[in-house]
Structure 1
């Protein structure tokens, strides 16, 4: 099992989160953060033995990469090659996980998902996605390693997608997040469980999840090992 979190986005909780996770999805300095932030985050991951993954997103800092854009496929390919390539120049990478709206676009649109998976494969990397949707379907179609992701700190809609952050109760408190993480781990349906590094109280949630899975005797580690 694996615990992942989205970091390097300049929201200030990374140092507290890092000791409690196995993999960090490091911002590629497009939707947030900066090149210096990405370098520092990757370096800190190496010091702590945390796996580094590329976390590309739409170049939309104003909205933190959370507004959906349907880019022409060649433009999307260029965006992904540039961002993943930049992070690959800084660090060995374990996999790719798209950020925010880019993740949701690729989950919903098969062509966008295939671009994400093909570009990731150019770097020899697998891709993380939510089971039952476009990213993992593209991985299966193209013969690229896919990692099944569940979410500890977010409520789900009846269709299995994440509840919008604007919906009351969509971000779970630490104890509830730890309970959900354990349920998902025990289900056997996931390779990795995510907690969002930019959520309020993310550091406390990360600590509580780590405590809970340690108490339950669950062993975790990097995905690409």
Structure 2
């Protein structure tokens, strides 16, 4: 059995630091690097990219709403075409900085509110997919499992990989429990690891409002911005290794 571990990284900005990218990059196999929308700046992108390259971690772009104050977790009213241009500009920026480190961006994973909107709104999903398809490098899409973004990427004949979240809880419709609700985030690393290994063995994800649901996944996200993120990632990685599960990127290095 094989699974990728990814994390949202490069989310600092200027002197403001978010998370411990170095430690997370020692644990994950794919890195979703912020590219100037909800977080990051050219220097942060460069530093995170270089650290990822040093560790052989596969690099993805993590575009989001230009809302640093809200960390990209608030929907900004935009037409789908505007969203497509925003995504193209952000991913293109990361591709440019990646060239300075001698590497390339391999995939795109929308962040926060943008990712959640693309999960349900086919027009938004199509706009993001069209932008990804138009960019150089034959980029893949990393999408929340069972969403419109996943379906749109498949319809456009792009490489698409599905992800689940190790530290977020689920609803019976397959969507994440909103962060505004109690219990949306799992804080116990052992609980998260137990649930993850159970999912990998059965394909069934427990939900808070019904019977477990079937999801597919080639990647598991461990957020880098939550309290205790590194400790959780360490325990999850150790538990996967102990269970004989091969932790490897969904795209070749």
TM interval, shorter chain, is over 0.9
* Larger-gyration structure (1/2): 2
* Equivalent position to 1:160, from 167, 174, 192: 174
Looking at structure 2, the residues matched to 159 and 72 of structure 1 have their Cα atoms a distance apart, in angstroms, of 26
Match of 2:200 among 185, 193, 201: 185
Normalised by the length of structure 1, the TM-score is 0.95
| Post-superposition offset of 1:84 | 0.5
Higher mean C-alpha deviation, range 169-178 or range 158-167: 158-167
The aligned counterpart of 1:66 is: 73
Query: Out of 118, 123, 126, which is 1:106 matched to?
Result: 118
1:1-225 alignment to 2 at 5 Å?
A: 1-10=3-12, 11-91=18-98, 92-123=104-135, 124-172=138-186, 173-187=188-202, 189-225=216-252
Cα distance change of structure 1 residues 52 and 156 upon mapping to structure 2, 3 Å threshold: same
How many aligned positions are there?
225
Structure 2 gaps of 5+ residues are 13-17, 99-103, 204-215
8 A contact 1:150–1:184 mirrored in 2: no
Deviation at residue 165 of structure 1 after TM alignment? 2.0
CA RMSD of aligned residues (A): 1.3
CA-CA distance at 1:133 after TM superposition: 1.4
1:61 aligns to what SS in structure 2? coil
Calculate the TM-score normalised by the size of structure 2.
0.85
Deviates more, 1:50-59 or 1:185-194: 185-194
Does the 8 A contact of 2:85 with 2:131 survive in 1? Answer: no
Runs of 5+ unmatched residues, structure 1: none
